[in-house]
């Protein structure tokens, strides 16, 4: 049997999640019988085992940097990202209202509804073409707030090889 953390709430469905840290969380309705939850976990054991292995290999491939390495990545992000944003913003004629460097773990960049862009300093641990891809991707969100065909056409106009660059982020 798989060990899991049970979170009950006012929901109607059962769900299982494997966190980046390798914890298994099962979310269940408040009054659902324990045997039904256990049966659900048993039915999803194969998926949970695969997800745990996947998270373990991701952590091994990208371990948390020590303090010195983290400080260096933050320093580089503060120097390099604003100039990259400026370069591509001018090229694309899309200008963000703000730029922040964050410690986000689950996304390399984001663009708010008010066109302010955030980048994780963790992005700086990836190859330059991948960094440029994230910059162009977030700037494209100023024009298109979704991942529809027009969004991808805009990204492709400035980075025809964006698929290869994006793949670098997954390696």
pLDDT of residue 132: 98
- Class (C level, CATH) for 67-170: alpha beta
Task: Provide φ and ψ at 115, rounded to 5°.
Answer: 70, 30
Distance from first CA to last CA of the chain, Å, rounded?
31
99: which 2 tokens? 């730029």
CA-nearest of 138, 168, 165 to 62 is 168
Task: Provide φ and ψ at 22, rounded to 5°.
Answer: 90, 20
pLDDT, tens digit only, all 171 positions of the chain: 789 999 999 999 999 999 878 899 999 999 999 999 999 999 999 999 999 998 887 777 667 788 999 999 999 999 999 999 999 999 999 999 999 999 988 799 999 999 999 999 999 999 999 999 999 999 999 999 999 999 999 999 999 999 999 999 887
Give the three-state DSSP class for 67. Answer: helix
22: which 2 tokens? 């390798």
pLDDT of residue 25: 95
pLDDT in tens, 107-146: 999 999 999 999 999 999 999 999 999 999 999 999 999 9
165: which 2 tokens? 């660059």
pLDDT of residue 97: 97
Report in angstroms the alpha-carbon separations of 129 from 4, 124, 126, 134: 39, 11, 8, 9
pLDDT of residue 22: 86
pLDDT of residue 74: 96
Q: What is the rounded distance in angstroms from the CA atom of residue 168 to the CA atom of residue 171?
A: 5
Tell me what percent of the chain is helix, strand and coil, each rounded to the nearest 5: 55, 15, 30
CA-nearest of 43, 139, 62, 35 to 97 is 139
pLDDT of residue 20: 79
Domain ranges across the chain: 5-61, 67-170
């Amino acid at each position: 049997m798989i060990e899991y953390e049970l979170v009950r709430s006012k929901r109607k469905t059962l769900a299982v999640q494997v966190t980046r840290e390798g914890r298994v969380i099962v979310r269940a309705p408040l009054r659902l019988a324990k045997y039904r939850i256990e049966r659900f976990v048993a039915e999803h054991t194969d998926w949970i085992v695969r997800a745990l292995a996947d998270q373990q290999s991701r952590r091994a491939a990208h371990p948390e940097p020590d303090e010195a390495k983290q400080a260096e990545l933050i320093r580089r992000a503060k120097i390099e990202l604003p100039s990259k944003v400026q370069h591509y913003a001018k090229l694309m004629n899309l200008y963000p209202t703000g730029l922040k460097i964050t410690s986000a773990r689950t996304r390399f960049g984001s663009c708010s509804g008010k066109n302010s862009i955030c980048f994780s300093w963790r992005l700086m641990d990836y190859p330059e073409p991948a960094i440029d891809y994230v910059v162009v991707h977030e700037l494209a969100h100023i024009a298109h707030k979704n991942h529809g065909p027009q969004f991808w056409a805009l990204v492709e106009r400035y980075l025809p090889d964006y698929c290869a660059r994006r793949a670098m982020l997954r390696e």
